[in-house]
Structure 1
Amino acid sequence: MTLKIGVVGAGAIGGYFAIQLVRAGYEVVVLARGANLAAMREKGLTITSEEGEVNVKFAAVSDKPAELGVCDAMLFVVKGQDSEQAAADMRPMIGPKTEIISLQNGFYGIEHLVETYGAERVSPGVTYIPAVLDAPGHIRRTGNRTRSYIGPYHPRDTALHDELAAALRAQGTDIQALREPMRQIWAKYVVLAPFHAMCSLTRLPVGGWIIHPEMQALYLGAMKEVAALGRAKGADVPDSIAEKQVEITRTSTSPKTRASMFEDLDRGKRLELEPIIGWIVRESEKLGLESPIHKMAYALLRPHRDGTPEI
């Protein structure tokens, strides 16, 4: 029997996976709102890349979760600040055996899902797919990378994860199912939060700031703050990850790469400040750790958290 997969957050990343899952033969239903809902109902969802353009239509698209019904698996890809509302909204789509797979940035959303639905049905994931939602119903890939990982919050049976990963690989997505994915999530978070902070504070893509030794030192210091927090929480996150990432960012990352927080800041939209940078500050304080770079970044970006301030 074909699995029914629900998607909450069909933006750039959620939309990419929704399209790939349809192409893999799954029944995909999408919980959406506003202009994106209207666009997907009328014309489906389109993604463009160097390989061309793909358009798919979903089994159902609605803003009423009860109409979409209970799913075998849910793909949860909303912005961190929308986690609480989205987790509550999707409850009618959750059955006794529904697996909830989160591909959000950081740990804020994962922790809320565990608190709401239980660790036994939550599976965190991480993805490095570069893409933007150019317009309602239209995604643009900004690079070819598709590396992703999914797995259970606590080690358990991974038959579903293995099946989905295999199906997605057949569609060209570089994804692995892991029994213990938390190390991969921490490895990304070590880079993610500092990268968001550096791009947003300088208002520049990476090529504009990584060339300066002073910025490299600040970037490294910020990554070490995250690595220290990870170790304090029991994760295997050596400082060497931070040191390697400075060199990778300097030599291998496209100079035009922009953090999504910078994109939102540039467009006057709400920022993922609390779940990405604020979470590090709060969790570090709880554990008696110093995080001066993230504290500074949080303070400087706080006026923009809810969008461009009106003065």
Structure 2
Amino acid sequence: MRIGIIGAGALGGTFAALLVRAGHEVEVTARGAGLEAIRSGGIRLTGGYGETHARVTASEVLAARPGLVLVCTKAQDAAAAIEANAAVVDGVPVVVVQNGLEGVATASRLLPRSSCMGLLSIIAANYTEPGVVRVTTPATSYLGRGDGPPDDESRRTAAVLSEAVPVVAIGGFRGAQWTKLIVNMLNAVPAIVGRSVQDVVDHRRLRRVVAASMREAVRVGLARGIRFGSLQGLGDRRLRLFARLPLALGQLLPWLMRVRMGNVPNLGSTQQSLRRGQPTEVDYLNGAVVREASAAGLEAPVNAALTALVHEVEASGTGLPVERVLAALSA
């Protein structure tokens, strides 16, 4: 199949390389140094899925109409990237591979003739050099849409993608998006202090901050009537229990995630954006919790503080001392 991938960063590059290895014809979009590197040297993938060197067609926008499109940009770039490619992809099945809660709705609005699905990827990959991706944690990805059971198109699309990397079609996708949002609460603190996720969770006081942001996010989801989907060993029952625990016990959740992650340093997507000098998607992660809390008539002070701190690091280009972070959260 001819597959178009909009955004060839960490996840886009991973899917592109593995789909080529599986025998598909792949075209990617990229910009700047990333586009030049892919055009000249292809995409080099190492780590959890082995080593592969994929030659792909690359340009700023897709040149040929594909049979399937993956949107792998950061959440803040999705609308502009979809609009730039709309003439080629409107009417083509679209899979949004993205953090946050809004990606599928954005694609559906901008591509009214397309059938739009979402993909929740737990794959951890570092993209700190143009055209080079290292997978630090391989994992199954989950595809679906809406609140109902998986439909036939979702199953067919999952089967195509599974030729490259494990993908499962699931029901209750919206609830699974919220579960992924809880997992993504691992991103902010490592980005703020400039350490790996493992280092942050190993730090007793920073682990408490991560747990607090997760617990707050779960409580907001419950206030919004969400039934959390099953993902990475997490599900509705476990997260509802977590929401009631004191933080001293709740810290077990990020610790278990850290154990599952292994010891290869995971920077998290937010920190990778900072290291490349690019805007982060914190407004679609911790910021999404703040907006959803407001919609429920609540406040989310922990996630509001973390969102502000990430923006502070974006502006300064320098990570913050641990004590500065702890002081901000105490306030």
Q: TM-score, normalised by structure 1?
A: 0.84
Cα deviations across residues 182-220 of structure 1 (Å, max 9, x unaligned)?
22221111121x211221233322333323443333322
Instruction: Judge conservation of contact 1:133–1:140 (CA < 8 Å) in 2.
Output: yes
Q: 1:281 and 1:88 mapped to 2: Cα distance?
A: 27
Q: Which residue of 2 aligns with 1:132?
A: 126
Q: Which residue of 2 aligns with 1:188?
A: 180
Offset of residue 250 of structure 1: 5.1
Instruction: Judge conservation of contact 1:47–1:54 (CA < 8 Å) in 2.
Output: yes
Q: 2:315 and 2:69 mapped to 1: Cα distance?
A: 28
1:29 aligns with 2:27: yes
1:134–1:215: structure 2 CA closer, same or farther, 3 Å change rule? Answer: closer
* 13-22 or 152-161, larger mean C-alpha shift: 152-161
* 217-226 or 261-270, larger mean C-alpha shift: 261-270
1:306–1:225: structure 2 CA closer, same or farther, 3 Å change rule? Answer: same
* Matched ranges for 1:4-43 at <5 A: 4-43=2-41
Q: 2:44 and 2:293 mapped to 1: Cα distance?
A: 41
**Match of residue 288, structure 1, among 293, 297, 313:** 297
Q: 1:200 and 1:64 mapped to 2: Cα distance?
A: 30
Q: 2:119 and 2:135 mapped to 1: Cα distance?
A: 20
Cα deviations across residues 238-297 of structure 1 (Å, max 9, x unaligned)?
433664633413544335332221233345432222222222212211221220101111
1:95–1:119: structure 2 CA closer, same or farther, 3 Å change rule? Answer: closer
Percent sequence identity over aligned pairs? 27
1:53 aligns with 2:51: yes
**Match of residue 254, structure 1, among 255, 259, 262:** 262
1:231 aligns with 2:239: no
Q: Could you list the runs of 5+ residues in structure 1 that have no partner in the other structure? A: none
RMSD: 2.7
1:248–1:164: structure 2 CA closer, same or farther, 3 Å change rule? Answer: same
1:216 aligns with 2:225: no
Cα deviations across residues 135-167 of structure 1 (Å, max 9, x unaligned)?
222212223x22211113464874443234334
How many pairs does the alignment contain?
300
* Matched ranges for 1:104-123 at <5 A: 104-118=98-112, 121-123=115-117
Q: Which amino acid aligns with 1:61?
A: A
Q: Which amino acid aligns with 2:139?
A: T
SS of residue paired to 2:51: strand
**Match of residue 60, structure 2, among 63, 66, 72:** 63
Runs of 4+ residues deviating >6 angstroms: none
1:85 aligns with 2:80: yes
Q: TM-score, normalised by structure 2?
A: 0.80
1:153–1:169: structure 2 CA closer, same or farther, 3 Å change rule? Answer: same
Cα deviations across residues 158-180 of structure 1 (Å, max 9, x unaligned)?
44432343344344x22211243
Q: Could you list the runs of 5+ residues in structure 2 that have no partner in the other structure? A: 229-238, 244-249, 319-331
Instruction: Judge conservation of contact 1:273–1:305 (CA < 8 Å) in 2.
Output: no
1:252–1:48: structure 2 CA closer, same or farther, 3 Å change rule? Answer: closer
Offset of residue 303 of structure 1: 2.6
Q: 1:178 and 1:119 mapped to 2: Cα distance?
A: 23
Instruction: Judge conservation of contact 1:126–1:188 (CA < 8 Å) in 2.
Output: yes
